[in-house]
Structure 1
Amino acid sequence: MISVLLVVPILYFTLFGNLYSEKKVMEIPVVVVDSDHSEISRELIRAFDVDATFAISSIVPSEDEAMKAIDKGSAYVGLIIPAGLAEKAKSGKEAEVLTIIDGSNMMISNTAVRAANTLIKSISAGVTLKKLEAKGEWGEDGKNFFTGIDYRYRVLYNPTFSYLSFMVFGLGGTVLQQVLFLGVALAVAREKDLGTWHKTVRSYSFFQLVLGKLTPYFILSTFNLIVTFTMVLKWFQVPYYGNPAYLILAGTLFNIAVLSIGFAISYVTKDQLQATQLAMLIAVPSFMLSGFTWPLMSMPAVIAGIGKSLPLTYFLHAVREVLTKGHGLEAIRTDLAVLMLMAVIGLFLAYLAYLLQSRKFATKADAEETGVVVTQA
């Protein structure tokens, strides 16, 4: 308990301090549609590429292609430069540049809107100053000569910037994980405290223990999953666009992965206190590391790697893809596969612990029986 009180706060704040070491979201992938191919359009593209907030990931020929890139998640911002932009700007006519922004993560969308607005206004002001300087039209005459490039943006998936739509899905998944981790981590440790675990291991196979210990938790966690997201979607009226059946599928695999990892934790710890500490050590920072709020691309590589090793990361990504973006199985195939792999690894580790403990208890029992025989003799 002393180590928990003294070490864990330092560990967490070291982790979280490094998590936000970039201070702001950086290197947001941008897909570009340049239909103008002018000096101004090239200057706009250079400005986006040089700015630390953005990183040009690709240049595509049409807005439809840009939308596909954003929909697939290979880019979060689409810079749409229309044909005739330079001609309109030079003639003093109204000219517009559009950015299409993935609004499913408000950290990214808010940053992108502000940074793009600043860049485009800077380019617009530069064009105006060049024309004024060339014509010598300063003072009162210059006030009537303003070449404006208007900034327009369209936000996908969360156009109203609703914080409820942004946060509640992630918090729902986090609560489900916390409760399940805590419950299943005590499944075996409780018997260790009671002193009955050695009898249980000798009386039942690993398969029987998995069914007996995990089935009640699986039923309860499935019930909690359905109730939680029903409340979110129906009671709080959070808009959603995908098929909830895909959410149930992802949630089921998520529950199995958490159960498996929690079961392994319960095996390797010596009592309920230690099991609870280890389970909470993993569960508490999971939401911060999941990439649901602060994107993984803006985390240091080591911390992002930790985040990618947690089941909550893949479940919340699946939730966002299905409910926020309206995608189907194709978009969450990787998430489902990773969750399934985590479940297998968790059960395998628990099985190894079961074998070691079975041999230990069997050896101890043989020694006790031998001792009794010698005493009787």
Structure 2
Amino acid sequence: MTALPASTGRKKLRAFSWTRIMAVMVKETIQMRRDRLTFAMIIGVPILQLVLFGYAINTDPKRLPTAVIVADNGPAGRAIVTGMQLSDYFEVDPQATGEAAAREKLARGDINYIVTIPVDFQRKLVRGERPQLLVEADATDPAATANALGQLDEIVGKALAVQTTGSLAFLAPGTLPVDVVVHRLYNPEGITAYNIVPGLLGTILTMTTILMTALALTREVERGTIENLMAMPARPYEIMIGKIVPYIGFGFVQVAVILLAAAVLFAVPMKGPMWLLLAVTLLFISANVTLGYTFSTIARNQMQAMQMTFFFFLPSILLSGFMFPFRGMPDWAQVLGQGLPLTHYLRVVRGVMLKGGGLPEVANNIWPLFVFWGVVAGIALLRYRRTLD
């Protein structure tokens, strides 16, 4: 039998063809159009970044809540308070009038400053004795309070300019007629690591636990083992618990590594109870892995699960107060940030580690985590039931 030439039955292709390239391009375009989640990411991520960075992010926060304790209600004290309000950097909280109430609000993070006008402030000013104006600042986030503190001398100077006339004209020239004493509480040296490292605990857990869990069910679908799960004599919530508990343990391994590094490498203090931090961390990880499980019931493949995780992680890291001051954002962005679990967890971590806060001080940031967890768990169970059907 005579052997056929190797080229027999196969048409020799030209070295280059625009027709073939166009055919592949059309095929890829159709595939992208059918993958709606990927197409939405292509359009949605740039829009989300433009909106957040263009409108929501502000590194110069203003209208920061401030408690004013007035022990001397003289003209000079009133002028200083008025000047602070007119500066747009400070917003006086009318409910924090007493020292105990003000310190409680400062510990909870409801206010950023306590300004105290001491007894005999007006009389000492008239005598030229440079009375002290005490300003206590929450320095757990140095970037959030630095700009306002930097403007404080100028604000006080302008406020007292009207008062230093007539018989007090000798106080106007030269130095400031009062001594502005600033106490940076909880982080007196303004060490950035004290703010960043506790924040990394929340951001790392958010990224890894959601992503790992989101890939869990989609991996079962891609490998064809989802039928085995469906055939198991187990209820949907039992399967969900069995899926997410190992990832909760994985999250606590990360917690141990980060807390050890925070103590050994960065000397971040742990002033509050460790049990409280771990209990809230358990709640936070549980909410995240449940959200990841919810994503896995929606996504059709692992790529979509990763895309959904990134789409949630981006606003979380930008609107939670980790990278930029929370109160520097507009009101609508703060409302969105309040709906993110990372926002409340960061406040708990910094409140426990840096402020030494207990359960009463952080309780207002714990119940939102419970609400978020309940909502995503309900969605996950509902989605999984539909998958079974």
Instruction: Provide the TM-score with structure 2 as the length reference.
Output: 0.83
Extract unaligned runs of 5+ from structure 1: 360-377
Q: 1:120-159, aligned counterparts within 5 Å?
A: 120-131=156-167, 148-159=177-188
Q: 1:163-174, aligned counterparts within 5 Å?
A: 163-174=192-203
Greater shift, 284-293 or 171-180, is seen at 284-293
Among 204, 210, 224, the residue aligned to 1:195: 224
Q: CA deviation at 1:246?
A: 1.1
Greater shift, 190-199 or 55-64, is seen at 55-64
Distance 1:332 1:95 in 2: 36
The aligned amino acid for 2:247 is Y
Q: Deviations over 1:30-60 (max 9, x none)?
A: 1112122211111111111222111111376
Distance 1:67-1:214 versus aligned 2 partners, 3 A rule: closer
Q: CA deviation at 1:113?
A: 1.2
Match of 2:8 in 1: none
Does the Cα contact within 8 Å between 1:127 and 1:147 map onto a contact in 2?
A: no
- 1:25 counterpart SS class: coil
Q: CA deviation at 1:150?
A: 1.7
Q: CA deviation at 1:263?
A: 0.4
Does the Cα contact within 8 Å between 2:214 and 2:295 map onto a contact in 1?
A: yes
- 1:57 equivalenced with 2:86 (yes/no): no
Q: 1:18-29, aligned counterparts within 5 Å?
A: 18-20=55-57, 24-29=60-65
Aligned residue pairs: how many? 351
Match of 2:148 in 1: 112
Greater share of residues in helix:
1
Match of 2:70 in 1: 34
- 2:94 counterpart SS class: strand
Q: Deviations over 1:174-232 (max 9, x none)?
A: 01211111100001011111233234223343133123311221111112112211211
Q: 1:218-237, aligned counterparts within 5 Å?
A: 218-237=248-267
Match of 2:342 in 1: 312
Among 96, 108, 130, the residue aligned to 1:72: 108
Q: Deviations over 1:73-111 (max 9, x none)?
A: 332111111122222222222222111111112133212
Does the Cα contact within 8 Å between 2:64 and 2:112 map onto a contact in 1?
A: yes
Match of 2:189 in 1: 160
Match of 1:331 in 2: 361
Q: CA RMSD in A?
A: 2.4
The aligned amino acid for 1:191 is E
The percentage of counterpart residues that share the same residue type is: 25
Q: CA deviation at 1:327?
A: 0.6
Greater shift, 199-208 or 276-285, is seen at 199-208
Does the Cα contact within 8 Å between 1:32 and 1:78 map onto a contact in 2?
A: yes
Distance 1:13-1:171 versus aligned 2 partners, 3 A rule: farther
- 1:212 counterpart SS class: helix
Distance 1:190-1:147 versus aligned 2 partners, 3 A rule: closer
- 1:284 counterpart SS class: helix
- 1:251 equivalenced with 2:288 (yes/no): no
- 1:186 equivalenced with 2:215 (yes/no): yes
Distance 1:68-1:337 versus aligned 2 partners, 3 A rule: closer
Match of 2:52 in 1: 15
Instruction: Provide the TM-score with structure 1 as the length reference.
Output: 0.85
Extract unaligned runs of 5+ from structure 2: 1-37
Q: CA deviation at 1:125?
A: 4.3
